[in-house]
Amino acid sequence: MLAVDMTGDAVKAKNGSMVAYDGQMAFKKLSGGGEGIRGMVTRRLTGEQMTVMEVKGQGTCWFADRASEINLVQLQGDKLYVESSNLLATDAGLRTGTSFTGLRGATQGNGLFTTTVEGHGQAAITSDGPAVVLRVSPQYPLTVDPGAYIAHQGDVRQSFQSGVTFRTFMGEGGGEAFQIRFEGNGLVYVQPSERNTIAGDV
């Protein structure tokens, strides 16, 4: 559960994720994720939909989503890439948008696009089990199972690795046929659980 203390400022949160509050709060649905007409159209086109509400007021507000773990991410001008289904709340000052992920998104079973969060402030992301934060640096690239990936931030290049060989089709595959490789400088968030992906069984 995430507790947010507010003194007249605002946060953006997933629609319906408020479980309790004290003090004075106003909840306003933001159409199109608060990204304006352009954002609305992009989200509709990309299928990366998210319904967001703006919470504003004085007091404490508690957010939760299906008893999943909540991880706080501090952003200092860098960009966080996260699936819209894993994004619970952000400071109102953070800009959200969509970006193209290519093949990686397809193997995660989450579509070809992902949500970006940019600016200065905090964002809360959800995961199945507490997320492990792994650092990527030039000398230590990281490889991640697409089903366990939830988010990454920083200046990171990702590439898609496929280990599909004829053995995969014989039912003798390594079980880890699709992987995402991260190189550069930044952090990657993985959850101790795997979503069901098309790559899960090969």
DSSP 174-198: -S--EEEEEEEEEEEEE-SS----G
Give the C-alpha separation, 112 to 87, whole Å: 17
Percentages helix, strand, coil for the chain (3-state, rounded to 5) are 15, 55, 25
| Site for another protein, rule CB under 8 A | 71-72, 74, 78, 128-135, 137, 140-145, 147-148, 153-154, 163, 167, 170-176, 185-188, 190-194, 200-201
102 token code pair? 């290519």
Nearer to another protein, 94 or 144 (CB): 144
Nearer to another protein, 46 or 71 (CB): 71
What's the CA dihedral at 13, 108, 46, 63 to 10 degrees?
Answer: -10
Residue whose entry in the numeric block shows the structure tokens 């990204």? 35
Nearest-approach distance from CB 126 to another protein, in angstroms: 12
Closest separation between CB of residue 90 and another protein, Å?
16
Nearer to another protein, 14 or 152 (CB): 152
Q: Which is nearer to another protein, 36 or 129 (CB)?
A: 129
For residue 153, the minimal CB distance to another protein (Å) is 7
Closest approach of another protein to the CB of residue 140, in Å:
5
Q: Which two tokens stand for residue 53?
A: 């509400």
